[in-house]
Amino acid sequence: MPAKNLTANRATLGHRVTYALRNPGRVPRHLARAARDMWLRHRHPDHIAYYRAVMRSDTRTDPDAAVGSRNRARWLALGEMQFDYLLGHGLRPEHRMLEIGCGNLRGGWRFIRHLEPGHYYGIDISPDILFAAQDTIVELDLRQRLPTLTPVADLTLRFLPDAHFDVVHAHSVFSHSPLPVIDECLANVGRVLAPGGWFDFTFDRTEGEEHHVLREDFYYRTETLVALAEKHGLRARFMDDWEKLPHGQSKIRVTHGDAD
């Protein structure tokens, strides 16, 4: 895994031209995505509807690739990384877990296997990827663990109970989210978080200018997201130990503002 590029602004013409000259093989795919982006933005001005359409298109081709893994071996490895990290941070079978943007259960199937039956709750904006998640449950014989998988239209979490989840997890979700979506999540996650619980999310980090590529990939400064969490009375800290792992994104942990 190459070192993170924390200063590039991938949205500038200069960066795009240099990247294309260095990686000519990737140009056709990027052009196809840019064309799709223009079409879907026109059809779906609302970001959630837009990204749901992106997921529909990607899931039809390959659900594993739709969540960002180019083959099953990578899908398994990336899920294992998420699972091992949370296990190392004390995820126990009796915990109740909410996974935001659970995808086709790349990490989720391991959480479902580890947790007591009924203790895993996955939500996602894409019904298509949730159908693929059901395939994962069947394939990996996890029916008896009784996970819940629910489509959502926003991140108000309004149908979920107060102070219920010990662990909330969002991997590679805010990397695809504009700031108002993250704001909505942080405004509401504290209500569903149990006392002593924590919410971990990954994000694409920049130390330069915040930017996005198409409406698909968003790059934030750590202090922006920490300040957003604090605005909602939460405490947020950058997870240094996650940086040691071979993953392109960074991680922030959010807890109740009064947590030790």
- Which residues contact ligand SAM by CB under 6 A? 48, 51, 55, 67-68, 100-103, 106-107, 123-126, 129, 152, 155, 171-173, 176-177, 181
CA distance 248 to 204: 7
Residue 145 tokens, joined = 């663990």
Q: Minimum Å distance from CB 121 to ligand SAM?
A: 13
**Shortest approach of ligand SAM to residue 94 CB, angstroms?**
23
Closest separation in Å from C-beta 230 to ligand SAM = 21
| Beta carbon nearer to ligand SAM, 51 or 234 | 51
Eight-class DSSP state of 196: E
The candidate with the shortest Cα–Cα distance to 203, out of 176, 230, 169, is 176
Start-to-end CA distance of the chain, whole Å, equals 35
Count, residues in the chain: 260
In the bound state with ligand SAM, the residue whose beta carbon lies nearer, of 80 and 259, is: 80
Q: Return the number of the residue (55 or 236) whose C-beta is nearest ligand SAM.
A: 55
Contact 83, 73 (CB under 8 A): no
Quickly tell me which residue has 């959480």 as its tokens.
111
Nearer to ligand SAM, 40 or 55 (CB): 55
d(CA 202, CA 254): 11
Smallest gap from residue 33 Cβ to ligand SAM (A) = 14
Q: Give the residue with the Cβ less far from ligand SAM, 105 or 236.
A: 105
Query: Least CB distance from residue 218 to ligand SAM, whole Å?
Result: 10
